[in-house]
Amino acid sequence: MSKTPKPDELSKVDYTPPKTGWMDTPAEFKQGMWCYGSKPKNLETLEFPNPRQWSPADEDWKLPENWQEILLNGLKERLDKYRSFKVFMDICVRCGACADKCHFFIGSGDPKNMPVLRAELLRSVYRGNFTTAGKILGKLAGARKLTYSVLKEWWYYFFQCTECRRCSVFCPYGIDTAEITMMARELLNLLGLNTDWISGPAANCYMKGNHLGLEPHTIVGNLEYMLDDIETITGIKIKPSFNRKGAEILFVTPSGDLFADPGTYTAMGYLMLFHELGLDYTWSTYASEGGNFGFFTSNELAKRLNSKIYAEAKRLGVKWILGGECGHMWRVLNQYMDMWNGPADFLLVPKSPVTGTVFENAKSTKMVHIAEFTADLIKHGKLKLDPKRNDHLKVTFHDSCNTARGMGIFEEPRYIIKNVCNHFYEMDEHTIREKTFCCGSGSGLNAGENMELRMRGGLPRANAVKDVVEKYGVNMLANICAIDRAALPAILDYWVPGTGCTGVHELVANALVMKGEKERTTNLRGEPLNGMEGQE
């Protein structure tokens, strides 16, 4: 793979559209802008069609003879199954309101990264095959044939969309490019055209319960490392349980937080909080993934991976489920899980054993977001907090796309942060809450080989961070998403060096005064606390 250009080079973006019309400008596969193709073994594990060794850079993608027929039948089937898809194919007026809302367009200037044009890539084929005007008038009606070149263009650009839904906020009809990208990726998967960064984790999740492929003993081992660290820092020995029947609560969080920092500090935060509360809960090694890379592949695979959460809750006989900090995990839990794998009639309406609060907003899915849970604890004064321990931090909060635009969890994390940190600053109003910018690596794009794409897509987010770094001296970006915690460190290093990235519950645990703890001299990262330097 080519080396990613330096920031000052990358930030010279030319927004002038090409001389040739978009239908006459085939996709040029630029190094650093795409991910490797799916490996056959992963597709076989997932029982997906056309497993074979291939590379997107190859001329020949080794497709079945009748690939066009497969795609067009697939398209027809999806038009009949999703009103969203059908309506969005028909009603766009190309007003252009969405055009400059996409982080990939802002960072790349490529017109096919304008949401409207990304959608037209598919719409043009829809018109050419399924509308009278398109069949008769062809190009004049914005219609075209499904050629090999169009197929490659689809692959290139539908894996340059993070399904973040920012465009759909601004569209006067609510046209959601995420819906269109999801359909396009489903279609591509009919031909075995996934990226391996998606099909690999999905296959891991299917067989081993989580994207990282952590086997049960490894999960326990990883948590034990964290517990040792917690003991060193606080003097408290924590003993969590795994796959324990009869626990009140099943806790599910993205596996990324069990594997690499800074996510691991967030996981330590969960462990400390739950211990302090004396919560009757269990981890599961079978349902050890909150995230869902199936969601970036197809509806069916997403459902297959998601099924483990309710199945495990049922097997263990828990009363309700608590979910950790993750972005697309919560879009799935909020907008899909009940319709796939519900009804969760074997669970009870979630009730906080600490405050007695009944979570009415989760009375059907029986699954509560940890930020809701913790905000409720703080509101009821159930936690002893010392925000001064976070005084070396000037914190800003990044709303993750999925929890922002597929759920609307804005105040809960802010309330928590303001209670555990003394220095909190908001970024530019056009870049937070429902207008938040994606990290640029969502929907399975956080690979290594597409680093230029990720840095381009991360520009708007990182740039808004840079603004508060310069204005207020912000040095920490808090978020509630495991992909953010995995992807943003690299993006911040590139665009705003020196800015850290943290989960909200890491901040909570650092401020949490635990019963019987020794005087803390370091935070969870092992960095000396203010006034404690040299006391290690």
Nearer to other proteins, 265 or 296 (CB): 296
At position 93, the amino acid (one-letter code) is V
Which tokens in the block code for residue 513?
């005064």
Q: Answer yes or no whether residue 130 interacts with other proteins by CB under 8 A.
A: no
Contact assessment for residue 455 and residue 426, using Cβ atoms and an 8 Å cutoff: no
Nearer to other proteins, 337 or 395 (CB): 337
Q: Answer yes or no whether residue 80 interacts with other proteins by CB under 8 A.
A: yes
- Total chain residues near other proteins (CB under 8 A): 121
Report angle CA 119, 125, 131 to the nearest 5 degrees.
105
Instruction: Tally Cβ neighbours within 10 Å of residue 84.
Output: 17
Q: Would you put residue 390 in left (φ > 0), alpha (ψ -120 to 50) or beta?
A: alpha
Find the part of the chain contacting other proteins (CB under 8 A) among 194-202, 212-220, 229-237, 443-451: 212-220
What SS3 class is residue 191? Answer: coil
Q: Answer yes or no whether residue 392 interacts with other proteins by CB under 8 A.
A: no
Q: Which run of H or E residues covers position 268?
A: helix 263-277
Shortest CB 444 distance to other proteins, Å: 19
Shortest CB 474 distance to other proteins, Å: 16
DSSP code at position 323: E
Q: Between 330 and 369, how does the x/- string for binding to other proteins read (CB under 8 A)?
A: ---xxxx-xxx-xx-------------x-xxxxxxx-x--
Nearer to other proteins, 61 or 293 (CB): 293
Q: Answer yes or no whether residue 44 interacts with other proteins by CB under 8 A.
A: no
Among 325, 376, 399, 484, binds other proteins (CB under 8 A): 376
Nearer to other proteins, 65 or 345 (CB): 345
Among 52, 245, 384, 471, binds other proteins (CB under 8 A): 245
Q: Answer yes or no whether residue 211 interacts with other proteins by CB under 8 A.
A: no
**Span 48-67, contacts to other proteins by CB under 8 A:** none
Instruction: Tally Cβ neighbours within 10 Å of residue 218.
Output: 17
Which tokens in the block code for residue 536?
């290690």
Which tokens in the block code for residue 102?
């996409």
Nearer to other proteins, 360 or 519 (CB): 360
Alpha helix positions (H), 351-450: 370-379, 401-405, 411-420
Shortest CB 331 distance to other proteins, Å: 9
Rounded Cα gap, residues 277 and 441, in angstroms: 35
Which tokens in the block code for residue 164?
């973040």
What SS3 class is residue 195? Answer: strand
Nearer to other proteins, 194 or 222 (CB): 222
Nearer to other proteins, 56 or 174 (CB): 174
Nearer to other proteins, 308 or 520 (CB): 308
Residues 6+ apart with CB under 8 A from 73: none
Among 174, 353, 500, 528, binds other proteins (CB under 8 A): 174
Among 56, 111, 213, 489, binds other proteins (CB under 8 A): 111
Which tokens in the block code for residue 91?
């009603």
**Span 269-328, contacts to other proteins by CB under 8 A:** 285-286, 300, 303-304, 307-308, 311-312, 315
Among 44, 47, 228, 527, binds other proteins (CB under 8 A): 47
Find the part of the chain contacting other proteins (CB under 8 A) among 55-63, 79-87, 193-201, 528-536: 79-87
What SS3 class is residue 339? Answer: helix
Count of residues making up the chain: 536
**Span 425-464, contacts to other proteins by CB under 8 A:** 428, 430-431, 433-435, 459-460, 463-464
**Span 222-241, contacts to other proteins by CB under 8 A:** none
Alpha helix positions (H), 441-481: 451-472
What SS3 class is residue 127? Answer: helix
Rounded Cα gap, residues 234 and 522, in angstroms: 9
